[in-house]
Amino acid sequence: MDSHATLLSIITPTKDTDLVRFAVTAAAVLEAMQSDWEWLIVVHNSAPGTVEQIRQLIGDRSEVQIIEKHDSVHSPSSPRNVGLLQAKGKYVYLLDDDDLPNREFLDSALKRMERDACDLLIGSAGQTSSSDLLAVMPMDLDFPETEDGFILPRDPEQLGKLLVGAGAFLSSRVIRRSLLTENSIFFDEDLPLMEDHVFNARCYAHATRICVTPGIIAYTYVQHDGSLLQRVSRENADPEKTFLEPIRRVVRTSLDNGISPGAYLWLMMSFAIWVCRNSAMSMENKRRLMSGVQVYLPLMKQEENPKREKTSQNSRKGDRI
């Protein structure tokens, strides 16, 4: 590879960001940056002056590009797609403007992906809130959580488990950019929420080689009241477009590509119950949401039944990296 080529593109969408919170993320990213990395910050539908405020915060860093985007999209999908289209890196890493990357994970992920020709390398995720207590989101896979990691066999159940737990978090993985460009994998800009679920399912469907390192925390997800999910929960959201359509797309992609959606659907059932208990949705919309998820009960029940005969021990454990 050309010594001047870009190895990693970090892509961060932001909209009227809390600059105090973003400063913490920026410090973590800039500390982690290597000479052959780039950071694309896409400022989306933000107030005048936001770009200049971020530029002052970042300082004069040639490896950082700040891009301004205004459109009618009300989700992070549009700025993420802008970043993916402009990225030059061999690999890409998607990071929200309020989360914290783990430098050691990024360094080790890139080395392992180069060595083992992985399309994706996925780690665990840490989660924290205003209490500052870190909780690690588990990788629900039948493998020991060692830092050595393993190469995931293309087994329907194991691939399906990547749709939940840490495997569902965008920033828990580094992605080979050619996987996205060669398969036209981008974010659906017509979805107001859960667009990341659909994106992940498409990545898992097309990836030839997925490496998993559940013993390493890839990043820390910072939960706060300003998050998109928290805002949606306070609204009378349309269950069809906001929740049910992305679920359908995940299920359709999974079934078309040999991935079991059962574990994901159990998670969505729990999520729907949480939404009904905590959101400002009308009773009619809550009924529509629950009815829309319950149509998948046959697929969910399959996850409870004994599966086909177990594969060989080596196949179940995967190939050690």
pLDDT > 50? residue 304? yes
139-143, 154-158, 207-211, 226-230: the lowest-pLDDT one: 226-230
Question: Nearest 5 degrees, angle CA 230-CA 94-CA 221?
Answer: 45
Task: Give 224 or 281, the one with higher predicted confidence.
Answer: 281
pLDDT at 179: 98
pLDDT > 50? residue 313? no
Q: How far is Cα 219 from Cα 104, in angstroms, rounded to an integer? A: 10
What are the extents of the domains in the chain? Answer: 1-97, 233-302
pLDDT > 80? residue 306? no
CATH architecture group of domain 1-97:
Alpha-Beta Complex (3.90)
| Contacts of 52 by beta carbon, 8 Å cutoff, 6+ apart | none
Measured CA distances, 129 to 90, 226, 233, 321 (Å): 33, 12, 18, 33
- This prediction's pTM: 0.90
Confidence band for 93, pLDDT divided at 50, 70 and 90: very high
53-67, 201-215, 216-230: the lowest-pLDDT one: 216-230
pLDDT > 70? residue 157? yes
Q: How far is Cα 7 from Cα 38, in angstroms, rounded to an integer? A: 8
Confidence band for 315, pLDDT divided at 50, 70 and 90: very low
In the structure encoding, which two tokens stand for residue 209, read together? 């080689």
Confidence band for 223, pLDDT divided at 50, 70 and 90: confident
